[in-house]
């Protein structure tokens, strides 16, 4: 089955760290460009960052609010995407989704996000 499953969310204090995971299955993970999107409670979607496949350079891009604090990485052997979040702030409280374009990758600018995980909630509070 083609799917993404996030894990690792929870309650963390301001200034703390947390690592989210996104386990992928059913598609060629090593070729996929993977993205994190978040949604604060009652708010809209916010693009967080993206990692290209290693074949395409493995480079990362981040949204301004998280640049320098968040790091995206992948482990192709485990078909897993990670989001390392450091120096967390209360405004980072959100449901975090991993997503990928699958077959829609590379043809459009930007890529549309076809496959989504169910999300994992991160709460930053003292």
Contacting residues for 108 by C-beta, under 8 A, at least 6 apart: none
Closest CA to 96 of 27, 11, 7, 16: 7
d(C-alpha 126, C-alpha 112), whole Å: 36
Closer Cβ to other proteins, 39 or 86, answer by number: 39
Strands of 3-7's sheet in order across: 3-7, 18-25, 80-85, 70-75
What is the nearest approach in angstroms of other proteins to the Cβ of residue 73?
16
Closer Cβ to other proteins, 64 or 77, answer by number: 64
What is the nearest approach in angstroms of other proteins to the Cβ of residue 123?
17
Closer Cβ to other proteins, 86 or 105, answer by number: 105
What is the nearest approach in angstroms of other proteins to the Cβ of residue 47?
4
Binding site for other proteins (CB under 8 A): 35, 37, 44-47, 49-50, 61-64, 67, 97, 99, 104, 107-110, 112-114, 116-119
């Amino acid at each position: 089955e083609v799917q993404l499953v996030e894990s690792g969310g929870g309650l963390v204090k301001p200034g703390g760290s947390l690592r989210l995971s996104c386990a992928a299955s059913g598609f060629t993970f090593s070729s996929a460009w993977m993205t994190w999107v978040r949604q604060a409670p009652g708010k809209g979607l916010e693009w967080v960052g993206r990692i290209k496949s290693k074949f395409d350079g493995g480079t990362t891009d981040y949204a301004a609010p998280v640049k320098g604090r968040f790091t995206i990485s992948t482990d192709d052997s485990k078909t897993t995407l990670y989001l390392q979040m450091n120096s967390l702030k209360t405004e980072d409280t959100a449901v975090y989704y991993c997503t990928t374009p699958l077959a829609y990758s590379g043809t459009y600018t930007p890529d549309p996000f076809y496959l989504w995980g169910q999300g994992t909630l991160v709460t930053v509070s003292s």
